[in-house]
Amino acid sequence: MSGEPVPECTALARAAATGAQACDQTGAFPVAAFDALRDLGATARPPLDDGDGASLLRILAAVGRGDLSVGRILEGHYNALFLIRRFGTGEQVRHFQAEADAGRLLGVWNTDQPDRPLRLENNRFTGAKAFATGIDGLSGAIVTTDAPAGREMFVVPLATLQVDRSWWKPLGMRASGSHVVDFTGLELQPEWRLGRAGDYVAQPWFSAGAMRFLAVQTGGAHAVLDLAVEHLNRTGRNADPYQAHRLGEMASAVETAYLWLDRCAASWSVAGRGSAASDEAMATVNAARGVVEATAMRVLELAERGLGAAGLVAPHGLERRIRDLRTYLRQPNPDGALAAFGAAVADARWSPGQVPGPASCPH
C-alpha cells in the first residue's frame, strides 16, 4: 500500500533468482525465491495506489531481472490484490490483505480451457482454466466466467481442485507452473463473488494494467544485458569494438524500455481523471507493449550474436534467459494493441512528448 518502503532493486533481483536454475529443470514452484521475497516485504503490501505506479513497476522489473517465472507469479499476485482493492467489499479487502500479510499468494486466471470453459450453473462451477500460473504455490485465485451482463470475477480457494500438469511442457517459463485447473463440481460461496459483472474488463485498468507484465519483461531484458556484460568481461572480449557496439545498443534498448515504463506510470497516476486521461493511459501502454517487445527481441539477438554458441549451452545463464524471455514476450493480441495505439494517434488522443504531470509546456 502507499507509504510502504520499496525494497532495494538489487536485493529483489537476488531474491527472485534464488533456486532459479533448479526450478527451471524440475518445473517446481519457486518456493525459495518467494520465501526470500517475503523476507524483503515484497509480497504483502505492494504499492498499488494510483500514484505508486513508478515504484510498482520498478519492483516488478527488479524481480523479472532475477527470474521471469517468479516475476510472472508475483505480477499475478499484485494484480489480484489490485482488483480486490478496487472492486471488493470492505470485508474482502481486509480478509485478503490479512492473507497477504500472512505470506499467502493469489493469482488471476482468465484463460478458459478451450473445450471446457469455466461456467457457473446452478450455483456450481463446471469446466477448467488453462495457463493457471503458480497453482502449486497459491492459496487462491481470481477466476472469470461469462455471464449475460459481462465477465464476472470470483476469488476461489484452490486446495481441493484437480490439476493437470501433463500438458505444461513449454520452451521457457517452466517454473511458472501454468497448468490446467478443473473446477467442476465446486459449489459457489457468496463471499467468493468479486465486484459486478464487467468489472474485470473495466477500462482503463484492464488494458493499462498490462504495464505490469511489461515491467517484468523489461527486467528480463536487463538480465540478458547483465549476462552479456559479465561474459564478455570474463572472456576478455569486452574491448573488441564490435562487442562494445553490441553492448552499447543493448544498454540503450534496455533504457528505452525503462523510460516507457516511466511514461506508463505517469499515465496510470491520472488515468481515473476522465475519459481523456483514460484514453491516454491505454494508448501509452499499448505503445509500450510494442516497444518493449521490439527492444527485448533486439537485446536477445545482440546477446546471442555477441556470446555465440557458448551462451546457448546450459548451464550458461543466457540459455535459460533466452527461453524464458522469448516465451514470456508472447502475450495476447500484440497486433490489436498496436492498431489501437495507431487509432489513438490518428484521433489525437495520444501525442509524443505530452507526458502527464508538471513537465508539460506552459500555456
Q: Which domains does the chain show, CATH number per domain? A: 9-194 (2.40.110.10), 205-346 (1.20.140.10)
- Tell me the per-residue pLDDT of 237-287, one tens digit each, with 9 for 90 and over: 998 999 999 999 999 999 999 999 999 999 999 999 999 999 999 999 999
Segment 133-179, tens digit of pLDDT:
999 999 999 999 999 999 999 999 999 999 999 999 999 999 999 99
Contact at 8 Å (CB) between 72 and 20? no
Q: Is the peptide bond before 117 cis (omega within 30 degrees of 0)?
A: no
Count CA within 13 A, CB hemisphere, residue 128: 18
The answer to whether 160 touches 186, Cβ cutoff 8 Å, is: yes
Give dist(CA 59, CA 9) in Å, integer: 7
| pLDDT bucket at 4, cuts 50 / 70 / 90 | low
Hunting for cell 495506489 — which residue is that? 49
Q: What is the pLDDT of residues 33-85, one digit of tens each?
A: 999 999 999 999 999 999 999 999 999 999 999 999 999 999 999 999 999 99
Confidence of residue 358 (pLDDT cuts 50, 70, 90): low
Contact 213, 72 (CB under 8 A): yes
Report the distance separating Cα 160 and Cα 99, nearest Å.
Answer: 18
Contact 147, 197 (CB under 8 A): yes
CA distance 3 to 116: 43
